[in-house]
Structure 1
């Protein structure tokens, strides 16, 4: 994290904007959206805070311990949800994301900015695959209805916070942000 100024600020803006959108998704009519939006907002804002360029604001050493504790708790919550659901790739992704944040905070707290190469490599492979998979899911299928065509049968159109493609775009941007942050370790 704490890379060059302009790219660092772009990453901060991307992650903070994603966090704001995820907070807005917590007002959704769809229970699944509400359930996942809080964790995703935490990730977005946490990534934004960790990406602030050091030249602008070097956080105190104890801040990295706070990041480690907060994202450690988020990882435990995701592990519990994964175990309770006995399935669910989304819970696994939250576990991987929170664990990556714990790892990056712990590495940064040591002041070395160089993590365990094998662990960093595994996380890079996971998030690269996630970004490619999520990006591919955003591509419209052949013969799909245009975005402006209303729902079939006169059903009520989903609100802008309930649109699955917007949630996927946010997840894609956070995955790309995670890749950018892992590359600095």
Structure 2
């Protein structure tokens, strides 16, 4: 490996690209699917911002408080729809994991929680959740059937197989971020 800076930039690229695609996906969706795409975009860009190497941007302590408030609000917003489906529960868990990491970074006053800032049991629980989520999502990820004429007639914003792939990518990215705690 090339050190933490290289892995940080790889996480920024993965999560930022995922967040950007989720914004594109919002254009082709309506109703609940649009809200889910917006939640995915917020999570992707939030994770990308959190993964920027500390040598490039070392945010002030208040930055993590703002982070915790934004993702806390996202978790509260998703609580009501979480009654209807597992995907919404995943958004709540993801938002609360971001709050947890922001609070952990606030407590050490640093970037990426270089000290043992997190609660080991909670960190282990979140790691287990995301490991199971990634394995379950990866096993269920199947490509959509190709059009009969072989031409891709479905626009990128409406490709059914890309939304689960984006969620899988963000779940994978969450694992090293939690390990950094």
- TM-score normalised by the chain length of structure 1: 0.86
| Coordinate RMSD, CA, aligned | 2.0
* More relative contact order, 1 or 2 (CA 8 Å, 6+ apart): 1
Cross-structure match for 1:149: 148
Deviation of the 1:150 alpha carbon: 5.3
Structure 1 residue 55 displacement after superposition: 0.8
Compared with structure 1, are the counterparts of its residues 67 and 113 closer, same or farther at alpha carbon in structure 2 (3 Å cutoff)?
A: farther
Q: How many residues align?
A: 172
Deviation at 1:139, TM superposition (A): 3.8
Partners of 1:29 and 1:71 in 2: CA distance: 23
- In the TM superposition, what are the counterparts of 1:25-40 in structure 2 within 5 Å? 25-40=25-40
1:127 aligned to 2:134? no
1:67 aligns with 2:67: yes
Q: How does 1:36-185 map to 2 (within 5 A)?
A: 36-82=36-82, 86-111=83-108, 112-139=115-142, 145=145, 147-149=146-148, 157-185=153-181
How far apart in 2 are the matches of 1:87 and 1:37? 16
- Corresponding position: 1:22 with 2:19: no
CA contact (8 A) 1:75 1:94 kept: yes
Return the TM-score normalized by structure 2. 0.88
The whole-number CA distance in structure 1 between the counterparts of 2:49 and 2:29 is: 29
Q: Which runs of 5+ in 2 are unaligned?
A: 109-114
Q: Distance in 1 between matches of 2:77 and 2:35?
A: 12
Runs of 4+ in 1 over 6 A off after TM superposition: none
Structure 1: stretches of 5+ with no match in the other structure: 152-156
**Aligned residue in 1 for 2:12:** 12
SS at match of 1:58: coil
1:30 Cα shift? 5.0
Spell out, residue by residue over 1:131-153, the C-alpha distance to the aligned partner (whole angstroms, 9 max, x if none): 1111111145xxx85x35359xx
- The answer to which of 26-35 and 15-24 deviates more is 26-35
Retained in 2: the 8 A contact 1:67–1:102? Answer: yes
Cα drift, residue 81 of structure 1:
1.9
